[in-house]
Amino acid sequence: MAQSGHTPPRICPNCDGFPAVAITLGGRDRSGARRTITAHCSACHGTGTAARIKRVGVTA
């Protein structure tokens, strides 16, 4: 049985630990590279970790 008292990993639940992704815009620039933008997770602001949430009244 797993211990219920340990601290769970604080991976951001919104991006599951992958906070930044490159999105292609289509087309290529003068050097032939794809034009991309980098989007960061809005929940964790690109850190990939979630802020620790205080759980009030939760009993396990």
If binding means CB under 5 A, how many residues of this protein chain bind Zn ion?
Answer: 7
Does 42 contact Zn ion by CB under 5 A?
Answer: no
Residue 26 and residue 16 in contact, taking contact as beta carbons nearer than 8 Å: no
Residue type, 37: I
Residue with smaller CB distance to Zn ion, 29 or 49: 49
Residue type, 2: A
Which tokens is 25 given?
Answer: 């815009």
Per-residue contact string for residues 1-30; x = within reach of Zn ion by CB under 5 A: -----------x-xx---x-----------
Binding site for Zn ion (CB under 5 A): 12, 14-15, 19, 41, 43-44
